[in-house]
């Protein structure tokens, strides 16, 4: 079974059974880890570390980000389109 079929199968099952946010988070984490494993060993190890966070840790971090207002350095404006950036440089 291809990766897309598996994802579609999980999506269908979750849609029918009403999977929780935690389940979706875990599915996403597992898919990301599988992608990491396609990288060379050293990079794969680093990449996998980014996806080892538990759902509880993720929720706490998300809560903090939502609570805190953006700092002055953080822009709430969308980024400029690439063609505008290229025109400014060239």
Q: Which structural domain, as residue segments, surrounds residue 46?
A: 3-89
Would you state the structure tokens that stand for residue 5, as one six-digit string?
């079929």
Nearest to 58 by CA among 32, 80, 40, 84: 32
First to last CA, the chain: 47
Query: What interhelical angle do 21-36 and 41-49 show, nearest 10?
Result: 160
- pLDDT (0 to 100) of residue 7: 72
- pLDDT (0 to 100) of residue 37: 92
Mean pLDDT by 10 residues, the chain (90 residues): 71 68 87 93 92 90 85 68 68
Number of domains in the chain: 1
């Amino acid at each position: 079974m291809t990766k897309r079929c598996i994802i579609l199968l999980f999506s269908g099952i979750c849609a029918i059974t009403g999977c929780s946010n935690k389940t979706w988070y875990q599915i996403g984490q597992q898919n990301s880890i599988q992608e990491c494993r396609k990288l060379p060993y050293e990079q794969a190890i680093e990449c996998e570390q980014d996806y080892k966070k538990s759902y509880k840790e993720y929720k706490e971090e998300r809560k903090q980000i939502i609570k805190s207002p953006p700092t002055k350095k953080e822009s709430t404006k969308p980024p400029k389109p690439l063609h505008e950036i290229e025109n400014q440089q060239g």
